[in-house]
Structure formats: C-alpha cells, structure tokens
Structure 1
Amino acid sequence: MHHDDLDALVDRVPLGWSRHDVDGRAWGLTRVDHAEGRSSTIEGEELGGTGRMSANVWRTASGTHLKPCEMPAEQVLAVLRALPTTD
C-alpha cells in the first residue's frame, strides 16, 4: 500500500475515542498519537460483537508503515477503509 493512502486512512480516525459504523456494525475506535505524530496507535472493537483490531502506524523518512498487532494487516485496513473520509 502506498504510504499516502495509509496516511489518509489513519487520518479518518479522530484522536481519542469515537464511534463509527463499519459495514453496518457499530465500532468504537481509539487513536493515540505519539512522538509529535510520528507514530499512532489505533485500536478498535465491534460494540456488542466480537470484532477487534489493533495496530501501530510509524511515519518514517522512508514512508508510513502499518504494524498490526497479532492479526493480518488486511483486517485492520478493512476497518479503516470502511470509515468515511474526513474531507
């Protein structure tokens, strides 16, 4: 995935906790930025369901890198892609 696309997906998640509809299901997502925005932690859970996602995002000189926590990257990206764009 091109790092600009990943940046745009991460930017769809507001800082702090927020509620979102993901494919018709309610999710609670939390985003925390670290090191003046050079890294972010995103965690999510399906409210009233079993869905979970967790990842760290690192913004380095070589680009933006997704590091999912104990799950496939596609599982994290599927949730991020389902969020509305912020523009």
Structure 2
Amino acid sequence: MASILAHLQQFPIGFTEALYKGKKYGVTRSDFNGGKSIKLYAEEHGGTHFISLNYYITTTNEILKPCEMPEEKVIHFLKHCHL
C-alpha cells in the first residue's frame, strides 16, 4: 500500500483541481492525527462522478477504506489522476 500513500501525497492538503479521464475534478485532502489519517474527496465538475476515501497508517499496517465504492475504483483514480 506504500504506493497508495505516495499517490495520496501528490495532492496538497486543502483544495486543488485535477484531471481524470479528461474531466476536471475538485479534490479536497484533509490530514488528521499528525498525518496518520488522510481523507480524500474528489468531485467531477459539472458531473456526477466522485471519489471518497479514508487512509489510515497504524504502527503495523496501512489501511485503505473507500467510502461506499469498490477499492479498485479508488486506486484507479489515484493512479491516473493528474494535477
């Protein structure tokens, strides 16, 4: 999951815009617990598509928790989204 963390860290904390599949997205990243918890929410401008996830870093593991969507969808977005 280390690569997932690297993809998450490409987004600055706060709001930014990104491109995914040729469409613009508004992306908000929030970090909590000294960076041990990350929340990311992305919403397509003028569309209905969105991505929502939480990522947790524990002393023994890193856990990706998509919010009501398949993990594969979240991973694809993170790997193919461009700032």
Q: Could you say whether these structures have the same fold, taking a TM-score greater than 0.5 normalized by the shorter chain as the test?
A: yes
Q: What TM-score does the superposition give when structure 1 sets the normalisation length? A: 0.88
Which structure 1 residue ranges, 4+ long, deviate > 6 Å from structure 2? none
* Alignment-derived partner of residue 26 in structure 2: 28
Structure 1 residue 84: Cα displacement: 3.8
Instruction: Let me know the Cα RMSD of the aligned residues.
Output: 1.3
Separation (CA, whole Å) in 2 of partners of 1:59 and 1:66: 9
How many residues of Structure 1 are paired with residues of Structure 2 in the alignment? 83
Unpaired segments of 5 or more residues in structure 1?
none
Q: Could you give the per-residue CA deviations for residues 1-32 of structure 1, whole angstroms, max 9, x where no partner exists?
A: xx211111111111101000111110111000
Unpaired segments of 5 or more residues in structure 2?
none
How many percent identity over aligned positions? Answer: 34
CA contact (8 A) 1:55 1:66 kept: yes
CA contact (8 A) 2:19 2:82 kept: no
Separation (CA, whole Å) in 2 of partners of 1:80 and 1:12: 9
Q: What TM-score does the superposition give when structure 2 sets the normalisation length? A: 0.92
Separation (CA, whole Å) in 1 of partners of 2:82 and 2:61: 23
